[in-house]
């Protein structure tokens, strides 16, 4: 089950914070469905890369959302102009 980008970003931030607290030099890191023992520095690097990718994806999705909301607002104006109060487009 895929997480939403914001949840993924939050989980990566939590993992990064937990990694800071650990005294271990080698930690378990999930790769696919398997956990591997990986040096802490490599895990920190991988988490940072994953956070950057997730943040970029989140920014892209936010931009798409804003564009879609603007299109919806424009369409609502057109439909309300055409049908007046005989149409209800508001969410409940």
Q: What is the DSSP letter of 25?
A: S
Q: What residues have CB less than 8 Å from 40, skipping those under 6 apart?
A: 19, 22, 24, 25, 26, 27
Q: How far is CA 65 from CA 40, 54, 72, in A?
A: 37, 16, 10
Place of tokens 């994953």: 50
Confidence at residue 1, expressed as pLDDT on a 0 to 100 scale? 42
How open is the CA angle 47-50-53, to the nearest 5 degrees? 150
Tens of pLDDT, residues 10-43: 999 999 999 988 889 999 998 889 999 999 999 9
Q: Full-prediction pTM beyond 0.75?
A: no
């Amino acid at each position: 089950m895929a997480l939403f980008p914001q949840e993924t970003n939050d989980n990566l931030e939590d993992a990064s914070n937990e990694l800071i607290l650990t005294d271990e030099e080698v930690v378990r890191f999930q790769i696919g469905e398997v956990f591997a023992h990986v040096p802490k520095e490599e895990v920190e690097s991988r988490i940072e890369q994953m956070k950057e990718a997730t943040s970029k994806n989140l920014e892209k999705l936010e931009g798409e959302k804003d564009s879609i909301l603007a299109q919806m607002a424009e369409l609502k104006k057109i439909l309300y102009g055409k049908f007046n109060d005989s149409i209800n487009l508001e969410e409940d």
